[in-house]
Every structure is written in C-alpha cells, then in structure tokens.
Amino acid sequence: MASPPQNPSQKGSEPLHGIGRWLEENQVAVERWLRDYASQDLKNRVQNALKPQQAKPAKNSNISSEIFHLWLAASPSSNNDHQLQNVRPGRDYGSLEESELFMELIRDVANELDIDVLCYKILKNVSILTHADRGSLFLARKTAGENYLLAKLFDVRHDTSFEEAIKLSRSEDLRIPFGVGIAGKVAQTKKLINIKDAYKDPRFNNEIDLRTGYRTNLILCMPICNYEGDVIGVAQIINKINNSEEFTAKDVRLFQRYLTFCGIGIQNAQLFEVSVLEYKRNQILLNLARSIFEEQNNLECLVTKIMKEAQDLLKCESCAVYLLDLDCCEANHLERILERPSSNQAQRPGPLNRAESGTVTAEDMRENGLRKPTLFTTIFELREGGTQTLVSRPSSFDLAISTLAQIAGYAASTGQILNIGDVRAWLKEKHNEGDAENARTILCMPILNGERTLIGVAQLINKEKNAPFTECDVSLFEAFAIFCGLGIHNTQMYENACKLMAKQKVALECLSYHATASNDATEKLLKEPIPSANIYNLYSFTFIDFELSDDDTCKATIRMFLECNLVQQFHIPYEVLCRWVLSVKKNYRPVKYHNWRHALNVAQTMFAMFKTGKMERSVRILRYRAFLTRFSYRFMSDLEILGLIVACLCHDLDHRGTNNAFQMKTDSPLAVLYSTSTMEHHHFDQCVMILNTDSNNIFQALSPDDYRRVMRLVETAILSTDLAMYFKKKNRFLELIDNGEFDWQSDDKKDLLSGMMMTACDVSAIAKPWDVQHRVAKLVADEFFDQGDLEKMQLKEQPIAQMDRERKDELPQMQVSFIDVICLPLYRVMSETFPWMQPLYEGTMENRQHWQDLAEKVEMGLTWIDHDTIDKPVEAITDPEETKDIELTVQTLHTVTVAPPLELKKRQKHKFCCIL
C-alpha cells in the first residue's frame, strides 16, 4: 500500500488531487479507519461536507445529529428487498436540536403498527444511539398463570437486515421464565441491569456464545413497560463498537428515555395486532357459518370444509372429527319413547372445562375409557396436505386399540377440553404404541349442538413448528367448535328430516291406497250408464236421497258434473272423475249425519241454485227496494261453478261427529294444528290430500293460474261453512243487498256471495218437505246427543241443551230459533235477489210452522218423541248391532249407508227435528 501524500494542508490544488487519488485507491482502508479510529469531530465534518451546498450549517453539531444521520443511513427503508410501512421521509437532521431529533425517533416508532417492524426499528435505533454491536427484544407472555419472555427479535446486529432478523427469530423459539437469567430478572424486578463483564456474572448463560463463537462482554438490559407500569417486554443490547469498555451513564439515559416511549408503541401495535387477528377470525367464522348453510345436504362435505378451515386457521398437520350416535338409528327409537324426560335432562353435559396435560394423566384417560367407553359411530380425518376426507365407521374393538380415539373419548365422557403440549412425555412408554406415535401436540374439544347436547369431538394434531396449542388457540377453537356443532347438528337434522319425509311418503302411499277408491270399484262405475238428471230429480230443491243406493249417489254426482259441462270444459278424464267421486265418498266417516249423503245433498242444492235458481246464467232480475230490474251480464264463471260443487262435496270430509268446540275442549291434535275453524281446515286438507293422490286430480288439465284460483275458491268456500264465519260476514252481505248491489264480480264480493251460498246449501235440509226434514233432524239429534254423552263421560261436563239427551223436549223450540236466526234471514234475501230460489224460503217457512206446533205441544206437557235409540245414551246401548254403529264412528276410511232401516221407518210415530 502506498503512503499518503505529505503536507495535505498546504495551499494549492495539486496536493489535494494527490490525496484524492490515494483515497480512491484505498477505499476499504479509508472506510475502516473512519468507522473504527476517526474522531467524532472528524466524522461530523465529513458528514457536513457531504451535505448539499444550499443546506444550512448545523446549529449544534452534537452527538444526536450524528446519530440520526447514521440512523437514516441504516434505516430499513433503504432495503430494496423489503419495503417497510410508516417510514418517515428523510430530513436534514443535522439542523435539529437534540430534543427535536429525539422526538423524530419517537414519531418514527409511534406511527408503526406492525409489531415485527416496530421491534426491528427499536433495536436498530437503540443500537445506533448507544453504539451497541447487537441486541435482542423479548415480549412478555402469560400461559396458565405462568409469566415468561418470548424472544421477538434475537441477536440482531447493527447491520442486520429486516429479513434476516425475522428469519432468525422464527428459527429460534427462546422462552425465558420471569426471574430466570438476566432478561428474566429484569422482567421480574422492573430494574435495569448494566454488566461490564458478562462471564463474571452468575446470571449470564454462555450457551449462545459457545454455539456461535461470539464473546459477550457488556450487557445493558432494561424493562419495557406500558402506561400502567406493567412489563410488556425487555430490551437487551450487547457490546459496543467504539471500543468503549462499558455502557456509559449517557447510554443508559438515552436507552431508558427511548424505551419509555417505545412501550406505548409496542402496546398500540399489540392492540392493533389483536384487532386484526380478531377481524380475521370473525371472517373465518363467518365463512364457516356460510359453509354450514351451503352444505346442509351432505354431512361429509360439511365436515371436510370445517376441518379444512380449522387446519388452516390453527396451523396444524391434521384434524379429525369423531361423531357420536345421536339416537337417530331405529334400534334406539323405542328406548327414547319409553325414556323419562327427566333422564334426558340429567345426561346433558355442563359447561366445558379446560384440562391441561399436566392435570390429567394418560392413566386417567385409559381408566375412563374402560369405565365409560365412548362409542363413536363415524370418524372423519383430514391429514396433512389432504384434500379428501377419510371416513371410517369403527367397531368397538377399533376404538379400544386407538390411542387417539381414547383421547377423544375422554373429552367426550368428561366434557373437558384436553390440551396436551407434549404427547410423548404424557403417554410415556405407551407413545410408540398405536396411532399416536407421530403425534407431538394434541388439542381435543367436545362438540355441542344448540341444545348443549354432546354430538362429537374435534381433535387437532401437531401445531406447526412443534409449538403447543396456546390459550388463544383454545379460545378460537372453542368458538370454532360452536359453529361446527351447529353445522353438524343442522345437517344431521336435515338428513333425518329427509328420512322422515321418505317415511311420510311411504305412509301416504299406504294411506292413499286405503283412501283411494279401488280399481275394481272405479272400473265398475266407469262402465255403468249415468241416468239423466230428471230421474234423480237433481233440478229440484226437494231432492231426496233416501231411496238412492250408494252406487246411485255416485252416479248422481257425476251427472251434476256432466250437466254443468265441467268434464268437457276442463278436460277432466272420465276415469279420474269416477275415481275421485268414489274416493271422496270413501273418506267420509260413517257418522250419523255429517257423512257422504249430507255432502251429496249440499252439492245438489248448489247445483239446483245454478240451474233452477239461474245463478249460472247471464240474465239476472235483481230487486232494488220496491223495483225489479232486469240486468244482463256474466255472473258465475265455469271455473267458479266447478270450485263450488267440489267444495260442497268435500266440505265435511273426515268429519268425526263432533264440532269445533269439542275438539278445543279435548285438546285434540286437530285443535293443536288449527286454533280457528278447526274441522273446516281439516276438511280442506283432506280435500287436498285426495286431489294430490295419484289418478284423483280432476284439476290436472288446468293452467297454473286457474289451478291457484280454483283451489283458493275451494278453501274459502269450505271455511265459510263454519257458522262462526257466517255470523261475521252476514251483516256485510245484508248491507250490500239493502243498498241494491247487483255487481258481484269483484273478488271480495264474489267470495262473500259464495260463502253465503255455501251456508244456504249446508242448512238446506231445513227447506226439504216435512217428511224428509224430520228424518234428517233425527239423524242430527242422534249425532249431537252422542257428542253430549262423550262430554259427560270424558270431560265430566254438562253439555249444552241441543246436545243434552235429557233436554230433548226443548229441541222443537230451539229449532224454531235456529230457523229465525240463521235460515229465514238468509233465504229471504237470496229469494228476493234471485227469485228462482223462492222454494228454499217457502219450504223453510212451512217447516217453521211444523216446529212451532211441536213446541206448543211441549209447552202443554205433551211428548213428541218415541223411545228408540235417540233416548239412549252411548253407555246404555247394549245391542250388538247398535254398538257396531258406534264403533264405526271412530274408523276413518270405512263407509256405510245412512239411510234408515225399513223397520225403523215403520216404527216412527212422532215427528222430530233438531238444530242443523
């Protein structure tokens, strides 16, 4: 190496050029000399000489300005490999006072929210402030009541890049309990430690020096506290690069002042890190919740998605879900029916408890498995890097020999969250046996559904970097398990619902087989001729069904469809119509009055209203006060005629011989389903069931809109047969008539008129010839008295007068009241508005006079009833034939004719009626 030129201070440019050439040729030596031997004053002068000419001279060239220039040169922002956030722009720090420069350092770390970058900046700045060679930063942690320090950045030199520092920290998993070593002692006492010779201090551990070959001499270690004074970390710097033999008082002051502000920055960064982590967790749980509702139809897909989310979230190698038998299998069905409700409550587990491997031994687990073996029905496993789930259905032997299954069984039987930090040490010599050989850490958690019932266990195995599952992992997995439980439970309930629907379908198929007319009966009716409407007297309001056979009642029904041209108009297959009529007849119970023949009479009255009453025609003569006016317009459409006739035939389907009040009093299943118009809703449901049964849908050719309209009409019409609905609508109807209303085309008015027509048809027996009326009334009385007897026996209640067999003599007067309150007002208005309905009003007036005569006889003390079955309560009937009739009233799908026997007809001496 050539010697430098002499007399560098003499004037002239030549000597300076010579010196410059020498400096350019010996750059490495110059750089080393400036770094290790140059005085501080010379360094400052070099710094100032390198500044732009327009820059102002430094006011106070001091240690702080030098430090900040060095800090700027060593700033992480100059690293092209990793651009850090929140790096303040460069400034002319030489022009700042020491206090201003110090504030710049504080602002730099205060604005940083990335905890890794913040810790790196702190160590770099402290190293430059104190001329330290390297440093480490530890953050305080707490697990299971134990405080310890975890190395965030370890052994970072003054020239270490950010990437190198992070890589080194991730390769070292250094934990220091409070009170152990120099850093642990500082964390425990909150006092700094300044050591001049580390090897003479007993607290110093030279293990790192021996491993790296580096010799530690000086150590300055200080606590980092938050604003509450709690230790949140420890910063430690080692050795000095300026050949100083100690960290001076000024170093201590700068270090201490700077760390005071850094504590606030660290706490803010930690809070930000927690909030970001919480946000990510919420997003993961939200995605999981979304997955739950997307995969309800496939349990395997759902569990796979859940395990994949858990594996990614908690960074573990494999995941497994063990499912218990939820009493869904048929073998346990009878046991669950016979099990007392209290026993189910007693078996419900309490809140989850957390158990560490230190509080539970492997022997405890094995003894628990022998004492209370847990029978998992299905195991789902997702192994490292796996995209498919391994599904197994283990036997009891498989579960007994599996260590992982025994661990899951312990969590299931005890309801504890089991966190095993070191599986090898926990299992001891048993570690090399079975399927737990490769397991290092295990987190096992029970899965509960929304009812807090145990449905399975989730198991995570081997957290990354051989680290144990932390308290944070347990809390997150606990929330994860809640969603997991809800998802699995929902999917299982969905699968069970599908099974129940399949069973219901089978039951409906069986039911429809019995509820639907047989093929033989359908073929027979299909081949027989249908007599004319005149033979059955269908056009008359005095139609009588007593002389008709059961076959004739079905033929008369078909004739009404043919006469109204409904078969041709709506393309109803004739075979389907025959089967539907027979099925409707079959679904009426053989009760004494509300049976198939009553439905036929109601439908025939509606037919007579359309034909004889001329309500289907376009020309109408309407009454307005004292005037009769002729109007011509379309009144009832063919679709409405179809709907009303179907409603009449179906309006009492499956009637049980008891009214709505009886259903409510006895809390029958029907009353549970429908709180108002109980039986009427049931009649409509039965109507829909028949229509939905194969080969019974007479509406099959209708368009979707027409189908909706006709079904709505049928429902409204059937519900209108509830007299409670009639009383609600009657005043509105009478008001419209009194106001001269003649346009009934709007939906609400058409519904109102249809409801009034249904009521008029339902009680039309009151307008029949007297010999027919008293026979029908006797059937009504028999049915009402039977209900009264049931109320006395089952409910221990006194029935109302019209159902009390003991008050049969009062029935004529009650019948008169029934006519005055319900029948006459309705028929009077109908006949005045539609004059061709006059026979209904006249027949009712005539029968009222007969009932009034009987009521007057009762007042004179005369009896009017003979002593036949109407006098006998249910429990007093002993004749087998009569008992057979009563038994039939509880069978759903058997029908008998209700025409009175000839012998009874001959014995009849007195005329009788009852409220319809």
Q: Is there a binding annotation on residue 681?
A: no
From the list 456, 441, 479, 354, the residue with the least C-alpha distance to 409 is 456
From the list 450, 454, 455, 479, the residue with the least C-alpha distance to 349 is 454
AA identity, residue 214: Y
AA identity, residue 503: K
Coil vs helix vs strand at 379: strand
User: How many whole angstroms separate alpha carbon 797 and alpha carbon 333?
Assistant: 38
User: How many whole angstroms separate alpha carbon 149 and alpha carbon 233?
Assistant: 7
Half-sphere exposure of 138 (CA within 13 A, CB side): 28
Q: At what angle do helices 596-611 and 638-650 cross, to 10 degrees?
A: 160
Q: Is there a binding annotation on residue 353?
A: no
Task: Using CB atoms within 10 Å of the CB of residue 175, give its burial: 0 to 12 exposed, 13 to 18 middle, 19+ buried.
Answer: middle
Question: DSSP letters of 828-853?
Answer: HHHHHHSGGGHHHHHHHHHHHHHHHH
Q: Is there a binding annotation on residue 850?
A: no
Structure tokens at 369: 């498995």
Q: Is there a binding annotation on residue 815?
A: yes
Q: Is there a binding annotation on residue 722?
A: no
Under a CB-based contact definition with an 8 Å cutoff, are residues 758 and 839 in contact? no
Q: Which helix (H) or strand (E) holds 622?
A: strand 619-624
* Tally: H helices and E strands in the chain: 37, 15
Under a CB-based contact definition with an 8 Å cutoff, are residues 263 and 226 in contact? yes
Rg from Cα positions in the chain: 49
Structure tokens at 516: 């639907």
φ, ψ of residue 744 to 5 degrees: the values are -105, 25
The β-bridge partners of 143 are: 146
Distances (CA, A) of 320 to 122, 461, 781: 43, 8, 70
Query: Angle at Cα 98 formed by Cα 235 and Cα 123, nearest 5°?
Result: 20
Coil vs helix vs strand at 746: coil
Q: Is there a binding annotation on residue 69?
A: no
Q: Is there a binding annotation on residue 652?
A: yes
Q: Is there a binding annotation on residue 597?
A: yes
Residue with tokens 């108009």: 569
Catalytic residue status for 594 = yes
**How many C-beta atoms lie closer than 10 Å to residue 881's C-beta?**
8
Q: Is there a binding annotation on residue 596?
A: yes
Q: What's the helix, strand, coil split of the chain in %, to 5?
A: 60, 10, 30
Coil vs helix vs strand at 415: coil
**Residue from 131, 431, 594, 655 carrying the catalytic annotation:** 594
Distances (CA, A) of 899 to 364, 538, 598, 896: 79, 18, 11, 9
Q: Which residues are catalytic?
A: 594
Which residues fall in the annotated binding site?
A: 594-598, 651-652, 762, 815
Binding site, annotated residues for AMP: 594-598, 652, 762, 815
- Specify binding-site residues for Zn(2+): 598, 651-652, 762
